[in-house]
Amino acid sequence: MTGIFVRWVFAFLLLSVTFNPTQLNYVQWARSSYTQELPLTVFFGLLLLIGYIIYLRATLRSIGAAGMFLVAALVGTMVWVLIDWGVLTLENSHFNLWLGIFAMSVVLGIGLSWSMVRRHLSGQIDMDDIDQ
């Protein structure tokens, strides 16, 4: 279970380092300093791109586009229920951005962890697990 949590945390960090409602994110930093720090801006951009490729490729391989849609729909419906019950409100735009980052990180975290979840639920192993 800790492996799933760690994968989700890294997905959340990847998304929030790229963009968030504060000034401490790659997009804001790159906009303000790319003329002075172009090599560093490109370097960090490539590091983030590599992270996205790893997460998106693994997610698409494990649950596919339909699975990504279903997980996103499930998280979106959960948010809708919390709004309907009055637990959440959509008046704070910064909170809404963090909520979106959270929702996307759940999709990526589940996608990267799906083989572990399936193995625990079904008892079957993947071909990739034989070497372990």
Tens digit of pLDDT at every position of the chain (132 positions): 688 899 999 999 999 999 999 999 999 999 999 999 999 999 999 999 999 999 999 999 999 999 999 999 999 999 999 999 999 888 989 999 999 999 999 999 998 888 777 777 787 765 555 555
The rounded Cα 42 to chain-centroid distance in angstroms is 22
23 lies in some domain: no
Residue 37 has a pLDDT of: 94
39 lies in some domain: no
109 lies in some domain: yes
> Could you tell me the residue range of the domain that residue 8 belongs to?
2-16+47-127
The rounded Cα 46 to chain-centroid distance in angstroms is 17
**Letter string b/e over residues 92-102, b meaning 16 or more CB atoms within 10 A of that residue's CB:** eeeeeebbbbb
89 lies in some domain: yes
Number of domains in the chain: 1
24 lies in some domain: no
37 lies in some domain: no
Asked if 107 and 114 touch (Cβ cutoff 8 Å), the reply is no
9 lies in some domain: yes
| Rounded distance between C-alpha atoms, residue 7 and residue 104, angstroms | 13
132 lies in some domain: no
